[in-house]
Amino acid sequence: MWDSAIYGKALTSNKVVKVRLAVLLGVALVTVACATGPLLGLPPEGGADARGAAPEFSFSRDTFAFANLIRARHPDGDDLYANYCFVLARGLRQFKQFARFDPALPRLDHAGYVALVRRVAARPPWQPALPEDERIVIPGYASLREFSQAEEAAAKEGLGSRLWTLVHWSNWRVTFWVTPAHQDNVAREIVSELRAGRLVQLLVTNWPKPELNHTVVAFASSDSSTTIDFAVWDPNDPEAPGVVTFDRQARRFWATRLYDTEPGVIRAFRMYYSRLL
């Protein structure tokens, strides 16, 4: 004969197990959805110098003049502009898509530039680029590089807090194990986006090695029969482009030249290309 108390506990335990299984299944489905994307066109095959690039993008003109600092490299620094890599990479795309510069117009004061940068930073980076006549005009300067060099404080203040970028739910993808097929798909998407004239923001990681949990922006590619080299803007290094390489045969990414990172295998994910990702 069943003891009612024991039977009740068994039912409760069974419900808990079912709830936990449902949660795990939900997490698994979300993980799969986040780890894959729509298949796009194949990257160019076999061209010894097949290149793709976001048109009219200039590293020396269209990037920020100041760097995101690495806190571990400045242990005694106070009030560091550190851990803003996501803010800067997203901001680079937002300026390229939604702003234009007019050096002929009179310059503004600090508050005026802060307000303009906030308007640029408020626009979702996954939205299409605005036509030239609808863009937010930054007066008094010819480029983002020139503006951010002269008005560094205003640019930083206008770009805003790093908090929400640090706790964004998609950041936990750095813990994912990914398949070669997934990484191959990411490489195809990057090439396709560059061919379409769009910058591509990437989350790059070599976790569990506590060295690289970072973001860069791909702006050009050079394709051979065995590898694709992606030229990237690294928020930690405003002086020179970095390189992330995709190995076609192994179907994996490689940190070829990333600031303060040893060359080696990494995982790459696209960032801020939809409301969820």
Distance CA 216, CA 161 (A): 18
Task: Look at residues 186, 8, 202 and name the one whose alpha carbon lies nearest to residue 89.
Answer: 202
**Phi/psi zone of residue 172: left (φ > 0), alpha (ψ -120 to 50 degrees), beta?**
alpha
End-to-end CA separation in angstroms for the chain: 55
pLDDT per residue of the chain (277 residues) written in tens, 0 to 9:
334 343 344 334 444 433 343 333 333 333 333 333 333 344 444 333 456 777 689 999 999 999 999 877 777 777 899 999 999 999 999 999 999 999 999 999 999 999 999 999 999 999 999 999 999 999 999 999 999 999 999 999 999 998 877 777 777 888 888 999 999 999 999 999 999 999 999 999 998 877 788 999 999 999 988 999 999 999 999 999 999 999 999 999 999 999 989 999 999 999 998 888 7
Q: What is the pLDDT of residue 179?
A: 96
- 232 three-state secondary structure: strand
Query: Hey, which residues does 213 pair with through a beta bridge?
Result: 205
pTM: 0.80
Q: What is the pLDDT of residue 30?
A: 34
What b/e string do you get for 220-247 counting C-beta neighbours within 10 Å, with b at 16 or more? bbbbeeebbbbbbbbbbbbeebbbbbbb
Q: What is the pLDDT of residue 51?
A: 60
Q: What is the pLDDT of residue 31?
A: 35
Assess contact for 81 and 69: CB atoms under 8 A. Answer: yes
Cite the beta strand spans of 18-150 per DSSP E: 50-53, 99-102, 136-139
Distance CA 105, CA 93 (A): 23
Calculate ∠ Cα 215-216-217, nearest 5°: 135
Per-domain boundaries in the chain: 39-52+170-270, 82-166
Q: What is the pLDDT of residue 3?
A: 41
Instruction: Find the radius of gyration of the CA atoms of the chain.
Output: 22
Assess contact for 253 and 212: CB atoms under 8 A. Answer: no
Distance CA 256, CA 215 (A): 15
